[in-house]
Amino acid sequence: MSVAEITPQPTISETPILQPEKEKKNVEVPITQPAKTPKPTQPPKPKVKASTKPQSPASTPAYEEKTTQPNKQKDEPKAGAKNNDGKVYVPGFGWVEDQGGGTQVVETGNNGDLNKQVGDMD
């Protein structure tokens, strides 16, 4: 198989308008060689650090002895503690104003019937 040589044609300054219903016209498109792109390079390989003290596989590893201290707990008050300002301590929120009252129970007069209407629908 052989490749025919293509000679570049002069470029047309105006864009040709194709109207096949009026006349038949041969349109020539210049063919250019594609630009060469450089080959991608490989990223550098990470260097392996050499250990400072080589150990034989038969011996057990030696570790430096360090003294450690446990983390000290902050002096936080317990949940529900009250201060002089009347605020209550809530863990994660800090000192919060005491709203007082707690829960409120309202008797509805229900004598055990689950389907009984309670209240008004406005």
- In whole angstroms, what separates CA 52 from the centre of its chain? 39
Tens digits of per-residue pLDDT, 16-43? 666 667 766 677 888 888 888 888 888 8
Which comes out higher in pLDDT, residue 114 or 76? 76
Which comes out higher in pLDDT, residue 79 or 50? 79
Is residue 77 within 8 Å of residue 89, measured between CB atoms?
yes
Give the pLDDT score at 2: 64
pLDDT (mean) for 8-13: 64
pTM: 0.27
Q: For residue 1, is pLDDT > 60?
A: no
Which comes out higher in pLDDT, residue 100 or 68? 68
